Amino acid sequence: MIQPIVDLLLTVLQYLYEFSGNYGLAIIILTIIVRVLTFPLTHKQIKSAKAMQDLQPEIKKIQEKHKDDKEKLNEETMKLWKQHNVNPIAGCLPLIIQFPVLIAMFQLLRERDILFEQIPNFSPMFLNLDMTVPDPNYILPILAGLTTFLQQKTMTTDQAQKGLLIFMPIMLLVISIQFPAGLVLYLVVSNFISLGQHLLMNKPVLKGALKENENS
């Protein structure tokens, strides 16, 4: 299932490299293309986050009212979601659907030998960095961690998930240190695009999330 996606991405990456003459620029353009193609899924995810954000005051009231009765708490929460046609799982489905593409990108960008074999006159350099090996200066991993933190801060609506605001960015930073710089560049650009979509499509989500985190 993944290999056909890898082959397709390699073909597109080869064309973009020949067009731009730079491996880093080719990755950035490829990232933009992937995000444009998956925009409908991202749009659905943002709308789901907005719906969950709007319901937070009501959910807090239910949590306060039924804090000693978990069964009633779950029942009333489900009733509220149903009343407003909100499906909390809907925000996760786009991520699940996009996951094979991320795995394919990981498999492609980590295979240094394939890139040198398949792309004529291939040069892995971008901004004095070899994109096929880990970033020795840790700049891209740090950017990956920071942009992941900002992206999650705009998406998090559940108080119970706030621990992920710290855990996920740190985990991504640590593992990104071992990733090829090209793959980390893909993650950073993808995160920036996601943040831009949130700012353009749904400013209230960003403002609400930031205000809520400031008050906590």
Residues 3-31: pLDDT tens digits?
899 999 999 999 999 999 999 999 999 99
Query: What is the token pair recorded at 52?
Result: 């969950």
Give me the residues paired with residue 175 across strands.
none
119: left (phi over 0), alpha (psi -120 to 50) or beta: beta
Q: Give the amino acid at 175.
A: I
Global pTM value: 0.78
Q: Are 86 and 51 in contact (CB under 8 A)?
A: yes
Q: Are 73 and 66 in contact (CB under 8 A)?
A: yes
Residues 98-140: pLDDT tens digits?
788 888 888 888 888 889 998 988 999 999 999 999 999 999 9
Q: What Rg value do the Cα atoms of the chain yield, rounded?
A: 20
